Amino acid sequence: MTYTNNKVTTEIVKSNSGEDSVSPNTKELTATHAANECSNKLEVQNNFRIKSVAEYLNAVESVFRTLCNVEQGTNCQLWYRGQAQHGFDLLPTITRKRGTLQLNPLYETVFLSKFKSMAIPYVEKLPAYPFNEDTASYWSWLFMLRHYGLPARILDWSRDALTGLFFATDPEDPSLTYGVDAAVWILHPVKLNEAFSFHSFLKPGYIPNVEESSFNLFFGPESDILNTLKPAAAIGPLNTTRIVAQRGTFTVFPRVKSLTALNIFEDAGYYLSKINIAWENFHDIQTQLRHYGITKISLYPDMETITNEVFQEVIDEGIKTTEMI
């Protein structure tokens, strides 16, 4: 099956084994959705600046009506990503500068190799033997690496709107700045993935698991479709309690040296929207979220968070001791 636009063509064919594969003569990715064929740039909608959880939820409902088709009804799913500053682009951590070192996705091999070698004694359950070439093992290690703070070409999202708001206003985020609004980005993952055809028997827009062979043709450790520029929405391994608690989903960027931010593609307004969070209301919003049970411990269910939560509860409850007689 072939899908064509005004730029390039991707042809998915059936192999003898029944697996989808990419024709060797047409190993180019369909660059954008058909909406991008028009000359007008689809700007990301940013019509909101909210000051409370209630205003935020109203804005989310409005975005639903904008991004989702009416005929989809309740079947439309959106993903949420909170960022401490509204001006930050949607780029993964492996594009950032650390000290004098400018990172890029080609550093992935180095980070993975060193992480596997040094992390083994401290990991309770290994994904697989650390130098196994199996694709599933590769993704498990990559997601674990990102979980513990090393840079990767993965951008985290959540299926939960309030989780996105929590991270946008998290007081422990060093990027949260006085006088600068935060933002929650909202993604329609199916619309984003209409740029891809992962299986010949499925229409573009399918959200694959990262372990699927067709996904790895575009984004795997040895992907051979090297002119892929746009990231894709994907489901990753649920190998940490944090991913489960945060209802984590992901956009995976290609293994190319120079990445393009998801929000600056010509058709970004087709699948993205943004809600700004008023900086002067960060504290109030965090308090409201706590009332609704959206707390650090609910999103980071581990022993370190539990000990911090216990200490905070003692303070919040105003517990006082009596004089010993």
Per-residue model confidence (pLDDT) at position 324 = 60
21 domain residue, yes or no: no
Per-residue pLDDT band at 289 (split at 50, 70, 90): very high
Per-residue pLDDT band at 192 (split at 50, 70, 90): very high
CA 188, 189, 190, 192 torsion: positive or negative?
positive
Per-residue model confidence (pLDDT) at position 318 = 79
128 domain residue, yes or no: yes
End-to-end CA distance of the chain: 84
* pLDDT tens-digit series, residues 220-261: 888 766 567 899 999 998 877 888 889 999 999 998 889 999
12 domain residue, yes or no: no
Per-residue model confidence (pLDDT) at position 54 = 97
4 domain residue, yes or no: no
Per-residue model confidence (pLDDT) at position 7 = 34
Q: Which two tokens stand for residue 27?
A: 């190993």
Q: How far is CA 29 from CA 32, 189, 210, 223, 279, in A?
A: 9, 18, 17, 12, 40
Please list the residues that pair with 11 across neighbouring strands. 2
Q: pTM of the full predicted structure? A: 0.80
Our count of domains for the chain comes to: 1
Per-residue model confidence (pLDDT) at position 181 = 98
Per-residue model confidence (pLDDT) at position 132 = 56
Expressed as residue numbers, the domain containing 188 is 34-294
**Who contacts 303 (Cβ-Cβ below 8 Å, separation ≥6)?**
none
Per-residue model confidence (pLDDT) at position 36 = 40
* pLDDT tens-digit series, residues 10-67: 333 333 444 444 433 333 333 333 334 333 567 888 889 999 999 999 999 999 999 9
Report CA dihedral (276, 90, 187, 282) to the nearest 10 degrees.
-30
* pLDDT tens-digit series, residues 84-112: 999 999 999 999 988 899 999 989 989 99
**Who contacts 52 (Cβ-Cβ below 8 Å, separation ≥6)?**
281, 284, 285, 288
Quote the CA–CA distance of 60 and 130 in Å, as a whole number.
42
Top-confidence residue, 214 or 178: 178
Quote the CA–CA distance of 30 and 46 in Å, as a whole number.
27
196 domain residue, yes or no: yes
Per-residue model confidence (pLDDT) at position 190 = 93
Pairing of strands 9-14, 20-27: antiparallel
313 domain residue, yes or no: no
Per-residue pLDDT band at 133 (split at 50, 70, 90): low
Quote the CA–CA distance of 36 and 23 in Å, as a whole number.
24
pLDDT higher than threshold 70 for residue 212 = yes
262 domain residue, yes or no: yes
Per-residue model confidence (pLDDT) at position 198 = 83
Quote the CA–CA distance of 263 and 92 in Å, as a whole number.
12
274 backbone dihedrals φ, ψ, rounded to 5°: -145, 140
Q: Which two tokens stand for residue 166?
A: 């929590």
Quote the CA–CA distance of 92 and 255 in Å, as a whole number.
12
213 domain residue, yes or no: yes
